Structure 1
């Protein structure tokens, strides 16, 4: 029988797209993982990976093995995690897949005190806005908004239960270009836009007293959602135009006077995010601790 650690090394290398990424994710060395793959391929008598200088990909045999291994290794992890329940403090890794805005605005209020309360748990956060298969991505849980939740997932509220999108600009810009009185006035302004990874840049939508107004904003800067959002915020602070973003993200700039709210009585609201995870598997101790901790924080708020 193949060594379980060698099988786990194979899954990690494929999941992370290479030996270096897998080494970082598993806390070992790339050379050790490479040796594990050579040992496994020798024992099985087949090549499992296509290797290039830039990445790796499973062969047909590797893909079939991976398909069967993922659920099996997940069951092994669940079985070992049962022992975690007998510890004084939960230990292990908690891997979360979350939207960029959640990583920026919500998790900073939860993760630092959680780490202080559970020093034996390592939290790994993957921030991306595409919807992923948690099992395939080897994530314990995800955070998404209600319209993107799958029906067979367990979902619990996390963070604020009501949020808004906000429009804002630097006072100097508004003093020079004027302050919009209606969303349609934005058509005469420089707007700083954010597009999805798919390439779509959705129009800006506003609501007031049952009326909905959609504006196809135009302007000098378009950034893809992710780390580049901070560039759009910096451009707004510098006076390059009006930005449309999560109110929570912009609030510190409002507090410091670097940005001024625009059309605040038109800002659209939406329900807050949910922490979700599969109900078909044993709940790992680190995830159980995080769920309880997040619920306790929300109750206090």
Structure 2
């Protein structure tokens, strides 16, 4: 008999097809009364499959007394109630590393775009502005200081790319990374004061909420550029808007926002802001790798009792 798995929401067509082929899948998002469904069928489930966008809270976890594994499609797992899951003896996996390169590519792209005005110049040319004038001087990227908030797989991938631009790199994390050639800065504000670019590459969740606050933006300064490819919750969005409007921050390249898909209208009105739709991992290659890994994690758990990439 196939193992019974609760799938909280759709993942991708290939992942959904493989899960449905190999497991007895129950699609929670299709149930008209989720609470009633969980109350009736919860004890039958042995595991959970969840997309990073969907919440997996205590209401779901407590209704599944025999589930012992959660496989998460995504790197971030801030929408999973980790404390409750661990109290109930559940293993949690995510899909790390397979996204590192693509997310780091986009971080560098945002840094270059904001500094050199690529998006705004594209709009300028399309509107016919080049026929009557030229864009103002912008800022170079090579040779500048790159500060990284978070120095896991993605942060380290950004650092490698920054080295190709002859940039100096320092990072702020909970503790120094052993063996790293880059300097660890214990103070985030001091890192921002040193940096020309500050890239947010840390996990989301309560522990990092609004870590990038008004003080940090003030330290980054009127020529500093903030790049966020992590989670919108890490940046105090209201403080960001004020800092940009008042010229206390030079610019921002944002792939994530506090209340996605809602973006503050004020940010969209500013030429020094590049706003994307949370696409850092949206490449064909990384998507296929994520689909493979989320299914491999579930397979490994039922084969060996351990997921491949525990959080």
TM norm. shorter chain > 0.5: no
Q: From the two aligned structures, give the one with the greater strand fraction.
A: 1
TM-score by length of 1: 0.31
Which protein has greater RCO, CA pairs closer than 8 Å, 6+ apart? 1
TM-score by length of 2: 0.30
The structure with the largest alpha-carbon Rg is 1
